[in-house]
Structure 1
Amino acid sequence: MGNRNKLAAGRLAVLAFVGSTVSFAQGQQVGLDGSHVRELEPLAIHPRTSLTIVDQIRHNHFLKKPLDDSASSEIFDKYVSTLDPGHAYLLQSDLDALNKYRYQLDDALKHADLKPAFAIYNTFHDRLLRRLNALVARLEEGVEKFNFDADETLQIDREGAPWSENETANDALWDRRLKASILSMRLSDRDLGDIQDVLLKRYRNRLKQAQQTRSEDAFQLYINAFASTYDPHTQYLSPRSSENFNMTMSLSLQGIGAVLRTEDDYTSVVRLVTAGPADKAGELRPADRIVSVGQGERGKLIDVVGWRLDDVVELIRGPKGTIVRLGLVDNSGDEESSRVIRIKRDTVKLEDQAAKKRVFTLESELGDVRIGVLEIPTFYVDFNAVRRGDKDFKSTTRDVNKLIEELKVEGVDGLVVDLRSNGGGSLQEAQSLTGLFIRTGPTVQVRKARRPNARVYRDEDGRTAWDGPLAVLVNRLSASASEIFAGAIQDYQRGLVIGTQTFGKGTVQTLVPLNRGQLKITEAKFYRVSGDSTQHQGIVPDITYPDVFGIDNIGESTLEDALTWDTIKPTSYRQTNGVEPYLDRLRMNHERRVAQDPDFAYLRSLSDWRRQKRAETHISLNQATRVNEKEADDVWRLDLENALLIAKGEDPVTNLKELETRRSQREAEKISGSDEDPDPLIIETGNILMDYINLSGSNRHTAQASN
Structure 2
Amino acid sequence: MLTNRIAALRTATRTGFFFLTLTLLSPTALAEVDALQPEEGQGSTAREIVGKLEMLHYNKLELGDEISEDLWEEYIDALDPTRSYFLTSDINEFREWRDQLDDELRSGKVDHGFAIYNRYRLRVSDRLENILSQLDKGMPDFDFDKDESLEMDREESQWPASISAADELWRKRLKSSVLNLRLTGKEDEEIRDLLERRYKGQLKRIKQQSSDDVFELYMNSLTRLYDPHSNYLSPRSLENFNMSMSLSLEGIGAVLQMEDEYTKIARLVAGGPADRTGKLKPADKIVAVGQDKEGEMVDVVGWRLDDVVDLIRGPAGSFVRLETIPTGGDGSHKTILIKRSKVKLEDQAAKKAIFEFSDGEKTHKVGVINLPTFYIDFEAYRRRDPNYKSTTRDVAKLLEELKKENVDGIILDLRNNGGGSLQEATMLTDLFIDQGPVVQIRHANEKISRHNRSRSRAMYRGPLVVLINRLSASASEIFAGAIQDYNRGLVVGNQSFGKGTVQTMAPLKEGQLKITQSKFYRVSGDSTQHAGVTPDISMPKLIDADQVGESAYDTALPWDRIHAVPHATYFNLEELLPKLVAKHTQRTSTDPDFIYLRDQFEFESERADRKFVSLNENTRKQKREELNREMLVMENRRRESKGLETYENFEALEESESEETPMVGGPVEIELEDDPILNEAGYIMADFIRLADKANETPQVADSE
Q: TM-score, normalised by structure 2?
A: 0.91
Q: Which residue of 2 aligns with 1:412?
A: 407
1:78 aligns with 2:74: yes
CA contact (8 A) 1:408 1:704 kept: no
- Could you tell me whether the CA contact under 8 Å between 2:281 and 2:327 is conserved in 1? no
TM-score norm. by structure 1 comes to 0.91
Q: Does 2:582 align with 1:576? A: no
Q: Cα gap change, 1:246/1:192 in structure 2, threshold over 3 Å: closer, same or farther?
A: same
Report the alpha carbon displacement of residue 419 of structure 1 after superposing the two structures with TM: 0.3
Tell me, yes or no, if the aligned pair for 2:498 and 2:531 is still in contact at 8 Å. yes
Deviation at 1:36, TM superposition (A): 3.2
The one-letter amino acid of 2:309's match is V
2:135 to 129, 139, 143: 139
- Aligned position for 1:29: none
- 1:604 corresponds to which letter in structure 2? R
| 1:382 aligned residue | 377
Paired with 1:655 and 1:459, the residues of 2 have a C-alpha distance of 56
How far did residue 144 of structure 1 move? 4.9
Q: For the residues of structure 1 that align with 2:418 and 2:435, how far apart are their CA atoms?
A: 26
- Secondary structure in structure 2 of the residue aligned to 1:233: coil
Provide the C-alpha distance between the structure 2 equivalents of 1:521 and 1:113, rounded to a whole number of angstroms: 22
Q: Distance between the aligned counterparts of 1:592 and 1:45, measured in 2?
A: 66
Matched, 1:638 2:644: no
1:208 aligns to 2:204 (yes or no) = yes
**Equivalent residue in structure 2 for 1:193, among 189, 196, 212:** 189
Output the CA distance in 1 between the equivalents of 2:52 and 2:565: 31
Match of 1:172 in 2: 168
Mapped pair 1:65 → 2:71: no
SS at 2:661 equivalent: helix
Residues 662/36 of structure 1: CA separation in 2 closer, same or farther (3 Å cut): closer
- Alpha-carbon distance between aligned partners in 2 of 1:665 and 1:162, rounded to the nearest angstrom: 46
CA distance, structure 1, for counterparts of residue 344 and residue 112 of structure 2: 46
Equivalent pairs counted in the alignment come to 681
Does structure 2 retain, via aligned residues, the 8 Å contact 1:408–1:703?
A: no
Are 1:394 and 2:389 counterparts? yes
Q: CA deviation at 1:668?
A: 4.6
Task: Provide, for residues 637-681 of structure 1, a one-character-per-residue CA deviation record: whole Å limited to 9, x for no partner.
Answer: 122222333344433223333334333447359979999563322
Partner of 2:462: 468
2:544 counterpart of 1:538? no
Q: 1:674 to 1:480 in 2, by over 3 A?
A: closer
- Partner secondary structure for residue 593 of structure 1: helix
- Residue 358 of structure 1 deviates from its aligned partner by 0.8
TM-fit CA distance, 1:592: 1.4
SS of the residue aligned with 1:658? Answer: helix
What is the CA distance between 1:631 and its match in structure 2? 0.7
Distance verdict in 2 for CA 1:144–1:632, change over 3 Å: same
- Indicate the SS of the match to 2:438: strand
Distance 2:71 2:387 in 1: 50
- Shift in Å, 1:98: 1.0
Structure 1 residues 664 and 703: CA distance shift in structure 2, 3 A: farther
SS of the equivalent of 2:427 reads helix
Distance 1:230 1:568 in 2: 21
Q: Does the CA-based 8 Å contact 2:319-2:340 persist in structure 1?
A: yes
User: In the TM superposition, what is the alpha-carbon distance from 1:456 to its structure 2 partner?
Assistant: 4.6
Distance in 2 between residues matched to 1:103 and 1:335, nearest whole Å: 45
Report the CA distance shift for 1:650/1:349 in structure 2 as closer, same or farther (over 3 A). Answer: same
Question: Per-residue deviation at 1:479?
Answer: 0.4
| CA shift for structure 1 position 291 | 1.1
- Name the aligned partner's letter for residue 530 of structure 1: S
- Which of 498, 515, 523 is the equivalent residue of 2:517? 523
CA contact (8 A) 2:359 2:683 kept: no
In structure 1, C-alpha distance between the alignment counterparts of 2:681 and 2:479, rounded to whole Å: 18
Which residue pairs with 2:297 in the alignment? 301
Mapped partners of 1:346, 1:539: distance in 2: 35
2:422 aligns with one of 383, 406, 427: 427
- Change over 3 Å in CA distance of 1:557–1:252 after alignment to 2: closer
- Give 2:8's aligned residue: none
CA 1:666 to 1:358, structure 2 compared with 1: closer, same or farther past 3 Å?
farther
CA contact (8 A) 1:9 1:85 kept: no
Note the C-alpha offset of 1:93. 0.3
| Structure 2 partner of 1:441 | 436
Residue segments in structure 1 that go unaligned for 5+ positions in a row? 1-5, 12-21, 24-31
Counterpart amino acid of residue 351 in structure 1: E
Deviation for aligned residue 1:582: 1.5
| Corresponding letter in the other structure for 1:427 | L
CA contact (8 A) 1:251 1:347 kept: no
Q: Give the one of 311, 328, 346 matched to 2:341.
A: 346
Q: For 2:669 and 2:372, locate their aligned partners in 1 and report how far apart those are by CA, in whole Å.
A: 22
**Structure 2 residue 155 is the aligned partner of structure 1 residue 149:** no
State the alpha-carbon separation in 2 of the partners of residues 331 and 141 from structure 1. 35
Q: Against the structure 1 CA distance between its residues 433 and 363, is the aligned structure 2 distance closer, same or farther, given a 3 Å change threshold?
A: same
Specify the code of the residue in structure 2 equivalent to 1:164.
P
Residue 369 (structure 1) aligned to one of 356, 364, 372? 364
